[in-house]
A and B are shown apart, each in its own frame.
Chain A
Amino acid sequence: MFNRLTGLKQRIGNYPGVTVERHIGILKFDKTTTELVDLPGTHSLSAHSLEEHITVDVIFGRMEGTQQPDGILAVLDATNLYQGLFLVQQLLDLELPVIVAMTMSDAADKSGIGIDVERLSQLLGGTPIYPVVATTGAGLEKLRGAISDIRSQTPPARIALWPELSAVADVLASTATEPVRFAEIERLLIDGATETNQPILDKLGHAAGGKLETLRDELFGGDPPIAVDARIRYKWVRETQREVQRSTPRLHSWRTRVTSFLNRPIPGTIGLFVVMAIVFQAVFAWATPVMDLIDAATSALGTAVVNTFGAGALSSLIADGVIAGVGSVIIFLPQILILFLFIILLEDSGYLARAAYLMDRVMRSVGLSGQSIIPMISSFACAVPGIMATRVIPNRRDRIATILAAPFMTCSARLPVYALLIAAFVPATQIGFMNLQGLVLFGLYLFGIVAGILTALLMRQTALRGPKPPFALMLPEFRRPNLQTVFIELLGRAKVFLYRAGTVIFVVAVLVWVLAYYPRSDEIAVHVEQQRAAATYSLSGSELADRYRRIDNLAAAAQMEQSWLGRAGHFVEPVFAPLGWDWRVSSAVIAGFPAREVVIAVLGTVYAVGDEADIGTLSSRLKASTWPNGDKVFTLPMVIGLLIFYACCLQCAATLAVIRRETNTWRWPVFAWAYMTAIGYIGALLAFQIGSA
């Protein structure tokens, strides 16, 4: 609805101190401009989740950096008046102008609900109601006009629903030191003297604080106030519905038939697996050609820069630092866009809630909730969109547990490293109908899943221990998603990723370039010139070109060895020696910490086969690699250890940046990084030591 009213004129920000996004849109009508703030959905003004607190605080004008709103636009689903009216009726107590936009009125008419809009408006104290059809845009123009004019509208009359409460509220208000609204006192009485309600209590003055609990006891007589409030309000809602609604919805459309089919356990679960398979396949396979294209374009652009400006620090910075850095950010876009296209489609069509409902039991048994399924599956393609998708999980603890488990899923960036090492070092023996290489790959996937699940379980038992929230998902009817809405949401996601995560990834990419490039050794450069000159003297044609390439590759390897990165590799060699890694592997692993897929390019450089070398050349070079005493570096236990290290280690600046962004603290990304690195190290250590013993 918000998207339909404001179109692309939106700003997305964050509320101070929290991860909840603030969507602000501008509505222009005639000559007036109205600022619309899209608030997270809530069922009631008594807030429970973080999102609901934001909504309530903004409505009451308590939110830092926002003013008291001029009025409220409530969106009421005509097919679900029951819960909708519960909220709308609470809004009437605010003494602010309220406009109701009634959506789905076409669906309501078709299914014979038939709502008497005029009568409903009367029962809502004269609140204007505008039926709109979001899919066709019918009624939107009228609604826009009404919104632009909201400042001149008088607030609706309050409904005397609960005379006892009103009387008590009057008693409290009479001693108030500052003007205070009825709705605020009402909240104070129902929700009690909570932290959120402190400003209200302050306004009422000291006398009220002492009286409050006595008054609440008298009013509710020991029953939980929320229960009493819900009973009274829903009773009014039922009476209202009986008066304005021709019949309770008995939908008999294709939607109902689909819904009815899908809520049988077996077809529902099969349907879910089919949907999941399609999403997974799309993210995994459809994105690859585009990603290859981006990859090819970045390296072509880099080569072009080197050819134009010649070799040197500046052109290397532009080609290997800036262009490669930008490339490593936009390479994620295809997967993110495809995944979010599916998620938004599934969410808007109402299927996402159903998926969470179907998977709830399974996911609950591993310490997560049904909503974790989409983020987990998505993380097999890439943890970045997977973690972004955890927003659908309302419970904070479940959400963080999912975020910590997601990076263990085997993402597509791990695959090239797996493929290289497995093809080079795991023999292709047949075991039953399986190939040992395939079995190892499968084992690594399984390992990631088990490690992720154990992590989630562990976290829910320790740092994220807490009660399971009641699982009450609203399961909406299936509906056709609105393409404009889908497009706007998709654009918003892409922007958020590029701004927030992209900047971190870019900075890190340039930093790695600096570490791998500097300091330059003049000695090596002079040596290269001498060798080139000698080669020119003795060779010609393609032999000369080959020799040149060999000289350059050896020089790059030599430069790398004495660069800060190479020195770091030497420096940490003792740390990784128990895992059987020499300085070359160590520096490749260090370079891979910001982005694990870099490892292959770095290995290519340190083994002097060039950073664009084909895998065959690289793997034969790896096989030949030895320690100074002649022992092979890449033994099977060492390779298995390295694979385990890769399966665990959080070598991805993008993931860390996204965890930071989604949790709004550095605590979780730092923890995830340290935890996963520790597990990877211990796993690799065990594999090497036991295997070599």
Chain B
Amino acid sequence: MSINGKTLATLKRGQKGIINFVDATDPQVLRLMVLGLVEGAELENAGAAIGGDPMEFRLFGCGISLRQEHARHFKISPVAAGD
């Protein structure tokens, strides 16, 4: 875990974060890395389905939805809102 324990799964709606560590040991996470969820990518939480899962993110203007269980593998450093 990163120091502040923040992952994509802990982002609130409208908050942004930059991925700073990907736990690439899970083969399922590799698929997501191919989609661009790598260190340095900036994502914004753009909503969620009922019950908060799956979650929707904006990745450079493109929408992508992730299940919570996968979002947890991506550690982030927060970005100030209104960037």
Interface residues, chain A, CB within 8 Å of chain B? 43-44, 46, 48, 79-83, 86, 113, 223-224, 226-227, 230-231, 234-235, 237-238, 241, 248-251, 259-260, 263-266, 268-269, 353, 357-361, 370, 467, 469-477
Contact = CB atoms under 8 A, between A and B. Distances in A.
B62 interface: yes
A268 B70 CA distance: 22
Given A251-B61, A473-B64, A238 B40 contact: yes
B50 interface: yes
B60 A249 contact: yes
Contact of A234 (B31, B38, B49, B70): B38
A265 B61 contact: no
Interface in B43-82: 46-54, 56, 59-67, 70
A231 B28 contact: no
Contacts of B70: 470-472
Nearest to A231: B38
Contacts of A223: 24
B32 interface: yes
B36 A472 contact: no
27 contacts: A79-B62, A82-B36, A83-B62, A86-B34, A231-B38, A234-B36, A234-B38, A234-B40, A235-B40, A237-B36, A238-B40, A248-B61, A249-B61, A259-B46, A264-B47, A265-B51, A357-B56, A357-B65, A360-B53, A360-B65, A360-B67, A361-B50, A472-B32, A472-B35, A474-B64, A475-B64, A476-B62
Contacts of B34: 43-44, 46, 86, 226, 230
A361 B54 contact: yes
Contacts of B40: 234-235, 238
Contacts of A475: 56, 63-65
Interface of B: 22, 24-25, 27-36, 38-41, 46-54, 56, 59-67, 70
A260 B30 CA distance: 28
Contacts of A259: 46, 63
A113 B39 CA distance: 23
Contacts of A80: 60-62
Given A113-B61, A241-B60, 16 more contacts: A44-B34, A224-B24, A226-B33, A249-B60, A249-B61, A263-B47, A265-B48, A265-B49, A357-B65, A360-B67, A361-B53, A470-B28, A470-B67, A472-B32, A472-B70, A476-B63
Given A82-B60, A238-B40, A224 B30 contact: yes
B28 A469 contact: yes
Contacts of B30: 224, 226-227, 230
Contacts of A48: 31
Contact of B54 (A83, A227, A360, A469): A360
A357 B49 contact: yes
Nearest to B27: A224
Contact of A361 (B24, B35, B41, B51): B51
